[in-house]
Structure 1
Amino acid sequence: MIVDRLPSIQGKKHLLDLNDRGLDVQAAQEKVYSFFLEIVQSQEPEDVLQEFKDLFINCLDSANSNSELGVYQIFVGSNEPEFRNTLKRTCYILINNWENRRQYKYIQNLIDLFSEYTPKNTLSCSRKINIFRAWLTNFINSKDYQELNLFAIRHEEKSNLHWTKRYSSYLLLAQSTDKNNPKEQQDAAKRLSKQLKDKFKFELAMYIARSQSAASNINRYNNPSILGDEVLRLIKVIVVRRGVFTYENIANIFVKQTRNQNLKEFKQSLLKYLIYSVSQQEFVETVEQKLSGKLFAWKTDYHKVEIDKNLLLRTCNKVIDCLISENGKEPSGLFILLLSQGNPLTLVIALLKIVLISKHSRRHLEMRIANIINYYEIYQEEECDWVIKFIEVFNITFAIYAENVEYNLIKMQENDNELQTNLDTYRVFSQLRLSRKE
């Protein structure tokens, strides 16, 4: 649409000229983006923050209908989604640039501008201002603002965070793959998600090293898991489970053996692969009875088609859906059933096996983890400790097997023969993998 009147918007030091009467909303939006991109790269962050505050927040303080409406003048006669998209994209332009310069505190300051905003109780004589105040308030109460808040988690104490925020790397991944989000938001979310994963991986390795040191109480690294000292024994149990053949070796053998199978044959092989060496009988029976029924009812018209990379990926993603969330909104019946059996590690190892034969399924898997986190967000931590335990075990297992850090057990006492019952006589050592076969 054509904006009837677009006055120039004057900040303290910079001029955003939107005075072209022939400028439509999209063109005006692009001018806003270009303006903030220019000043964030050339001006002090404090000045950029002030410009943002003047143009998006302070301009609503006046009750004078003749006052300038800041950026909102673009949206006179337009709609709220257009405003929200502009606000979001502008925020992520600033976040990306400050992130690149490691100016993290200004990201926090930007987000604080919204948390500190208090809408006026009195109505303005301008109907437009009242509408725009409502739009800004709606944004602050929206999912879009919750997503924006994830970029401030590095500055907050973990004890002050809602339990779901401990797993923000998954929530950020979901943002990065949502095509409805601005590209700047997708890029920022992808980058921060990776940083949080790398941070967890590093802190876990350092915690394990320090916790087994004779000087463990000196400069001890924080445990990135909430499992406490139990995490050390869990890692030993996970590493021990490799046995003679590593999960990676078994996965490579499986891929070679199923290379020329059709989809029906592959489904049969996949189910056997998932329960191979599993000692928990309940899990085996559940896979054989319930998972097999769901899997064999899927894509029956493709049963005679030879498996290829695309069909492999789709099949593995289907199994992940069955095991985690079939509709991307709520947990699957299998997820609840398997975790009710009391051992999340068995389910996590099955998911690991899937990723080891289909590396591109990992993103899909982590998206489903994000779905689970979002579903249980309304519950208190005490009400969903079983879900949290699953996520913690998942994080640790994938840090061991699906990242570039290798964990090994070294026996410290020679007089013990039974590894499984004498884990205390072993120490965990980690080292960087110089290369990994994909």
Structure 2
Amino acid sequence: MATNSLQSSQEHQDIVKSKPKQINLQIPQEKLYSFLVDIVQKWPAEDLLSEFKRLFIDFLDSVNLGKATGIYNISFLESEQDFYYTLKRCFYIIVNNWEAQRKYKHIQEFIKLFDTYKPPRNTIDPQTKIFPSWLKNFVNSKDYKELKVLAAKYKKQALKQEEKNNWANRYTSYLLVAQSYDSKRPREQQEVARKLSKQMKDKYKFELAMYIARSQSAASSTSRYKNPSVLGDNVLRIIKMIVVKKGVFSYENLANIFLKQTKKQTLRDFKKSIQKYLFFTEKNKELVSTVMQYLSDKLEPWKQETNEDIINNNLILRTCTKVIDCLTIEPGKEPSPLFILLLSGGNPLTLVIILLKIILICRNARSHLEIRIADLINYYESYPEDECSWFINFLEFFNITFAIYAENVEYNLIKMKEDDLCNSENLDDYRVFSQLKVDAQT
């Protein structure tokens, strides 16, 4: 007992000693952050770049920082971990503000400060001689690679060539979503990633709508608005195939009916009902049987302790995210057998519609789905484009389908010939029209 008491006393003393150290670090950190927030909004970008270089690249004193905060350099950073964190936090403060100010060119110049960094041969000041090696390690780290992913949106030179070398660059918006929900990253990084991802999605929606409108008008030049997909001119027919499912049996209406019918179900019954809802329209009975058996094996033992609870929004969300994992990929693992099975038939729309139906009953599960899409991209990105064309087709169908059904733009087919019925065999007789939804939810 005496030994335990001594250990507890020692642990308490260690905690007490660590608190002043943490406070001593946080005070200059917050002063530095406030200083950057102030000057990034007031100074010319060139002056800010020079100031940042002086502090974090050359490791020199700054008169401006000293006047504003009472600290003149970053010598208060005594560990490599603190250096990493502070550097990243400062990076995102600057990028976040420049993004809002549309200073995209300067973000690229900011990145070049690191790309061109070479450690000095001799450092006279013993207090800062460790910083160059820390910075060198940072430039070679995974963290720095992720910083460059964020800035990739603003690259103007050699973008097409980069896309040829790495097809995954076309789907950066999903990688940014994953970063924006990663609580281990600095708040500024999450905020920047969230904004950039939304901008990319909005740009895709706009380009898709404009391309559709121009490609159906003989008087318009299709070259004015590019096709945001890689499916070529066939994308218009694909969109018609997706939009044709409207009316009483639309995906939205079926989702609303499902939610009403299952409102008072237990979790045990809801696990079974969601499988029927997702697959009851699928005509391939053998495929449905295999998929539902796999899902049953996964869902039945999952959360058995709450099987008799009446479902609520939280249980619906957790069930939907579990099903999404079963249909795509789990963290740190390979793509699921169902993902491979459902795409092996060569029709990615089957899986895409199943995922859409999940989101239509639980909109809050969309971020989880997009994080799993990012996990899939990370898994396949090392493959040459021609070896994973089937996966790229899935991503393209996913982009289009969710732009049509899960965004604030409504697409409709308008029949141009009165003597035909609306079906997939006569899609050439229809035109696609888009408009903003009145009750838009972004």
Q: Larger deviation: 95-104 or 43-52?
A: 95-104
Deviates more, 1:387-396 or 1:104-113: 104-113
Deviation of 1:222 after TM superposition, in Å, equals 0.8
CA distance 1:50–1:234, shift in 2 (3 Å):
same
Which residue matches 1:377? Answer: 381
The alignment of Structure 1 onto Structure 2 pairs a total of residues equal to 407
Q: Residue in 2 aligned with 1:345?
A: 349
Q: Which moved more, 1:357-366 or 1:374-383?
A: 374-383
Q: Percent identical across equivalent pairs?
A: 58
Q: CA deviation at 1:151?
A: 3.0
Provide the TM-score with structure 1 as the length reference.
0.86
The one-letter code of the counterpart of 1:136 is: L
Aligned to 1:413: 417
Root mean square deviation, CA, Å: 2.5
Task: Write the distance in 1 (CA, Å) between the matches of 2:177 and 2:57.
Answer: 29
Distance 1:345 1:352 in 2: 10
CA distance in 2, matches of 1:164, 1:218: 26
Q: Which residue of 1 aligns with 2:241?
A: 237
Q: How is 1:33-432 mapped onto 2 (pairs within 5 angstroms)?
A: 33-59=33-59, 71-75=73-77, 78-119=78-119, 122=121, 131-156=130-155, 157-161=159-163, 162-217=166-221, 219-242=223-246, 244-327=248-331, 329-417=333-421, 419-432=423-436
Report how far residue 286 of structure 1 moved.
2.8
Contact 2:408 2:440 in 1 (8 A): yes
1:67 aligns with: none
Q: Which has the larger helix fraction?
A: 2
Counterpart CA distance in 2 for 1:233 and 1:225 is 13
Q: Which runs of 5+ in 2 are unaligned?
A: 1-20, 61-71
Comparing 232-241 and 315-324, the one that deviates more: 232-241
SS at match of 1:422: helix
Over 3 Å counting, the alpha-carbon distance change for 1:311 and 1:328 in structure 2 is: farther
**Normalising by structure 2, what TM-score?**
0.86
* CA offsets 1:242-301 (integer angstroms, 9 cap, x no match): 464110000000000000111111111111000121224454123222122211221222
Q: Is the 8 A contact 1:412 1:426 kept in 2?
A: yes
Structure 1's unaligned 5+ residue stretches are 1-20, 61-69
- Residue type of the alignment partner of 1:357: I
CA distance in 1, matches of 2:215, 2:112: 37
For 1:274 and 1:265, the matched residues in 2 are separated by 15
DSSP 3-state at the match of 1:378: coil
Q: 3-state SS of the aligned residue for 1:24?
A: helix
3-state secondary structure, aligned to 2:363: coil
For 1:327 and 1:338, how far apart are their aligned partners in 2? Answer: 20
Alpha carbons of 1:268 and 1:54: their partners in 2 closer, same or farther (altered >3 Å)? same
* Inter-partner Cα distance in structure 2 for 1:127 and 1:331: 50
Paired residue secondary structure (1:74): coil
More displaced 10-residue stretch of structure 1: 137-146 or 34-43: 137-146
- d(CA) in 2 for partners of 1:286 and 1:131? 59
Q: Which amino acid aligns with 1:212?
A: Q
